[in-house]
Every structure is written in C-alpha cells, then in structure tokens.
Structure 1
Amino acid sequence: MSAETQTPGRTNWWLTGLMIFLSLSILVPLYLVVVTALKTPDQLTGAGFDLPSPVTFGNFGEAWRLTDFPRSALNSALITVGAVTLTLLTNSMVAYAIARNMHKKLFKGLFYYFIAALFVPFPILMLTVAKLTAQLNLDNQVGLVLLYVVFGLSFNVFVFVAYIHSIPRELEEAAIVDGANTWTVFWKVIFPLLRPMNATVGIITCVWAWNDFMLPLIILSDPRAATLPLQQYVFQSQFSTNFTVAFASYLLAMVPLLLVYVLAQRWVISGVTRGAIK
C-alpha cells in the first residue's frame, strides 16, 4: 500500500518501537541514577533496580560537602558563561565574514581549514596545549574560556555559515542603502536573525563547558579554581567508588543545566516562529 492510500491515523509500529527504545535508553539510566542516589551503600545489591528502602537524602548533603558545591559550581558557572558569551560573539562574526566572502579564495580556504580541524583528535594536541597555556600564564579560568572558544570554532563556523546562507542578502543591501556600515549590518540585522542558531550553539557550548573534565584537568593549576567535574573525581579511588554520594552529586550538577536547556529551548522555538512570521 502506497503512502497516499494509507489510512489516516495508522500507527507506524516500527517508528513507535524505535522511539520507545530510544526513550528507555535515556530513562533507564536516569532511573538508576536517581534510585542509587537515594540508597545507602548496603542497599546496592543485585541489578540496582529496586526502590530505596528507606529513602536516604543524606547523600546529597554529603555530596554538597565533599565537592564544596557552592564554590565549584560557581567556578563552573563562570567558565561556562564566559565560554558561551565569547563563543556567540566571536564565532558568529567569523562565520558571517566567511559566509559573505565565500567567493574569495582566502575565505573559502579558511572555511575548509576550520572543517578539517574537526577531524583532529584532541589527545594529539593535549600536551602542546597544556605547555603553551602554562608558558603564557593562561593555566587558569581565563585560559580555559579561551580554549573552549577556540576549540568550538570549527563546528560553530560550520553551522553558522550554513544558516547565514539562508538569510537573504536583500536585508543587508537595504541597510547599506540607509547608510549602515558592515559592523552595523551585522549587529543590527544579521545577529538578531541568528537567535535560533545562537540558542543551538549556546546549548552545545554550555553542556560541553559545564560537563568537561579533560580540559580543566590539564589546564587549571590552582585547586581553588577546580570545576564540578574535577571535584566529583573525589568519589573515585583506586579500589572503590562511592556510588551513592557520587550519583547524588551528579544530580545536583544536572539541575542548573536542565534549567538552562529549558530556557534556551524556548528561545529556539521563539526564533523559528518569528522567522516564519517574517
């Protein structure tokens, strides 16, 4: 039976089964994290699917204390906000310059150069980056923010350029006729239209900077500047892992990201809707 003759409202069981499987791949691990965070170490037996009896909320207090949660969360927040802000401001400008000058060999070569950088594994650069940041006195939070901006440039330019190509040039030409220069055209015309893509890039950068463990580990030299992922490493030792307190700490660290994601998701929907109305 062809797609045109199918009965309206007929259920696609293959697609439904796939969606159920993908949902379970997220919900089951999340369930295990929650129930483990509410258990005592003595209750961690079997597969771990049993509900906690009794429920223990003391793991969250212990996680708060061991990770010095207020300070480490503030460190992560400062780095994340700095990385997201600089990424959106600088990467969008670079992408705009490339997108509107793709007919020139220099800008076209830069575009392919950034794309090629996506295929360079980070471990190859890791030791060099650590040595250079130490020599430049950037083994701190400022250096970490700059690295997130630089390392995210390749992917962000790729997605920004594709989106900018969909923006009609007539909008820029009309602004130029009214006396606007290139700087004004970007900030007054192009950047507001990039809101859906800014939200997307912002979410990706936020999740990366907040959850990243490797870059803070090799860059930060001051223990007082440690981020949440670094502090959470205290739950692991050579012979054992404190799963109950560790999972409670992971849930605490997940709350700010969930709030950011819900807010940014609304921006994406709002931006797409405004674009459709225009």
Structure 2
Amino acid sequence: MKIKGKFSVGTVLVTLVSIFAGLLYLSPFYIIIVNAFKTKKELFQSTLALPASWTFDNFKSAFERLDFFNALTNSLLITIGSVIVIILFASMAAWMLERTKTKISGFIFFLFISSMLIPFQAVMLPLVRVMGKLNLLNIGGLIFMYLGFGTSLSVFLYHGFLKSIPKELDEAAMIDGCSKFQTFWYIIFPLLKPISITVAILNTVWIWNDFLLPSLVINRPGTQTIPLRTFFFFGEYTKQWHLALAGLILAIIPVIIFYFCAQKHIIKSITAGSIK
C-alpha cells in the first residue's frame, strides 16, 4: 500500500520505530543533562522535568570536589599510556603470529582468544595479591595490567586485519636489507592505521570508564581517576545525584573531544574495512 504514491506503509512504520528507538537511546543523556542543572530538591521532585532555572553551580562544586585537574591528569596518563602499549605490543604479536605458520604460533593465538573468555572477577584478587608483593600497586602497575587484559581482543583484531596485507611486502623489505623490526615499523605498522584507530577507540572507552580495577590498585588520594573521584558523591547516608551527574558530564567531555578529533580516522577505518 502506498501513501500519496510516494511512501509505503512499511517505510512509515520503520521510520516511526527508528525515531522511537532513537529517542529511547537518547533518553539517558537527556536525564543526565537536565538533572545536572537542577538543585537537589528539584531533582527529587521531578526527574524528567526541565530545571526551574539553569545554573552552573553544580558544575563548579563538582569541579572542586572532584579535584578535577588532578583526576583528569591521572585518567589521561593511564588511558593514553595503556592504549599506546596495547597498540604496540598487540600489533607486533599479531604480526608475528600471522606470519609464522607453525603449531606453536597457532597454539599461542588460541591462548590469546581463550583468555577473552576468562572473567576479570575470577582473577582480580590473586592478581592484586601478586602485584602487591611485587610493589606494583601504582599507576605503572595498572598500565601493565591493562596491557594484559586488553591485548587478547587487540591481537584478535590485528590478526584478522593482517591477513589482508600481502606477505610479499615483508619479503621485499627483507630483500632490501630491512631487519624484522624495520620491516614491521616502516612497512607493516603504517598499513595498520585503520585497525589501530579501532583498537584505540575500544580500549580508550573501556579504560577511561573503568572503575573496578583502579579501585583495587590506585584507590589512594592523589592517584585516583575521574570514575574513582565521582564515587565521592555517593556516601553511606546520602547521595548527591545533582553533583554526581554534573561530574559525569565533566568526565564525558574529554571522550567527546577525542571522538571528534578521531572522527575523520574512524570514518576512514570503517570505509577501509568495508572495501577489504
């Protein structure tokens, strides 16, 4: 059936369902933004209503209580450091595993894939105990742990992408006198840019928002990340939701900036992946 000879009933239904799904998806963002500008009294009176007067007092208080610059510095240091080492180690490991066709390399790759099935909660207490004995319950130790937990998925993604890069490139570089490291760094690694952007985005979102592992490793004044500092607003007898929501918006801003900066590369990586 056609409506005015242009739109079918199915098209209209799909459009309406898509609009509803979009509004449903955006509703949490609406609740966060609207309530971040309310007083505590207004928030408990009505969660969905617009604030009587838009004020930035919550953001000022949250900024001060979060010790935002210090928490932001810790989050940036941990996230950027972890993502860099994951990209470097995972790409090199995947390259060697994909180019070395032996039973040992196949078994090692199988171990990487299998480790993704192990829940973090099953190993967190023994891991923290071991890292404590090694005096690595600090930011450096946390980055090392993120390397361990983030490498498996990253190796899997790199391994699949490397299959589309001809092995003849490696052989040509070797004939020209390149060492294995030079072959990887100057020939292979630049070709991995699309998948490296994907790996960076996945790990950045995960590490930036992670609460559990930092709470076990660096939950001390001066080293806390933004998620750890945000928990400051939830006490035993009271919960300051208006300040917590303002703090959440402050925490989201760096990720949004990162997305807009990497947007061009994200589109390129999706396009390259579709063509390959």
TM-score by length of 1: 0.90
Q: Kindly state the Cα deviation for residue 131 of structure 1 after the two structures are TM-superposed.
A: 0.6
Which residue identity lines up with residue 59 of structure 1 in the other structure?
N
* Paired residue secondary structure (2:137): coil
User: After superposition, what is the alpha-carbon deviation per residue over 1:18-57, rounded to whole angstroms, capped at 9, x for unaligned?
Assistant: 5434422331100100000000011124551211111121
Of the structure 1 ranges 8-17 and 39-48, higher mean CA displacement relative to structure 2 is found in: 8-17
Aligned ranges 1:45-64 → 2 under 5 Å: 45=44, 47-64=46-63
Partners of 2:6 and 2:163 lie apart in 1 by 37
The whole-number CA distance in structure 2 between the counterparts of 1:277 and 1:123 is 39
2: CA distance, partners of 1:19 / 1:208: 28
Q: Is the 8 A contact 1:35 1:52 kept in 2?
A: yes
Quote the Cα distance in structure 2 between the aligned partners of 1:146 and 1:180. Answer: 30
Q: Which residue of 2 aligns with 1:77?
A: 76
Q: Tell me the distance in 2 between the aligned counterparts of 1:162 and 1:15.
A: 34
Residue matched to 2:96: 97
CA deviations 1:150-193 (Å, max 9, x no partner) are 10111111111001111122222222222222211111111111
Partner residue in 1 for 2:201:
203
The answer for the alignment partner of 1:215 in structure 2 is: 213
Specify the alignment match of 2:148 in structure 1.
150
Counterpart of 1:224 in 2: which secondary structure? coil
User: Aligned letter for 2:256?
Assistant: L
Q: CA offsets, 1:92-131, max 9 Å, x none?
A: 1011111111x20111001111111111111110101111
Distance 1:192 1:227 in 2: 32
SS in structure 2 of the partner of residue 152 of structure 1: helix
**2:120 — aligned with what?**
122
Residue 165 (structure 2) pairs with residue 163 (structure 1): no
Q: For 1:240, what is the secondary structure of its paired residue? A: coil
Please state whether the residue corresponding to 1:30 is helix, strand or coil. Answer: helix
With the length of structure 2 as denominator, give the TM-score of the two structures: 0.91
CA distance in 2, matches of 1:193, 1:149: 22
1:136 to 134, 137, 144: 134
2:18 and 2:38 mapped to 1: Cα distance? Answer: 30
Alignment match, 2:85: 86
Q: Give the structure 1 partner of residue 228 of structure 2.
A: 230
Does the 8 Å CA contact 1:139/1:221 hold for their aligned counterparts? Answer: no
Contact 2:87 2:200 in 1 (8 A): yes
Q: Which residue of 2 aligns with 1:3?
A: none
The CA distance in 1 between the partners of 2:58 and 2:95, in whole Å, is 48
Does residue 1:39 correspond to 2:38, yes or no? yes
* Distance (Å, rounded) in 1 between the aligned partners of 2:158 and 2:57: 46
- The equivalences for 1:170-209 within 5 A come to 170-209=168-207
Unpaired segments ≥5 residues, structure 2: none
Q: Are the counterparts in 1 of residues 194 and 272 from structure 2 also a CA contact under 8 Å?
A: no
Count of matched residue positions in the alignment of Structure 1 and Structure 2: 272
Q: Is the 8 A contact 2:198 2:269 kept in 1?
A: no
Sequence identity percentage: 37
Aligned to 1:4: none
Q: Distance in 1 between matches of 2:127 and 2:13?
A: 47
**Cα-Cα RMSD:** 2.4
Moved more, 167-176 or 267-276: 267-276
AA of the residue aligned to 1:90: F
- Could you tell me which amino acid in structure 2 is paired with residue 81 of structure 1? I
Are the structure 2 counterparts of residues 152 and 66 from structure 1 closer, same or farther at C-alpha, using a change threshold of 3 Å? Answer: same
Compared with structure 1, are the counterparts of its residues 271 and 178 closer, same or farther at alpha carbon in structure 2 (3 Å cutoff)? farther
CA shift for structure 1 position 275: 8.5
CA pair 94-19 structure 1, distance change in 2 beyond 3 A: farther
**Structure 1: runs of 5+ lacking an equivalent:** 1-6
Aligned to 1:29: 28
Cα distance in 1 between the residues matched to 2:174 and 2:162: 17
Letter in 1 for 2:80: V
8 A Cα contact 1:176 1:185, kept in partner = yes
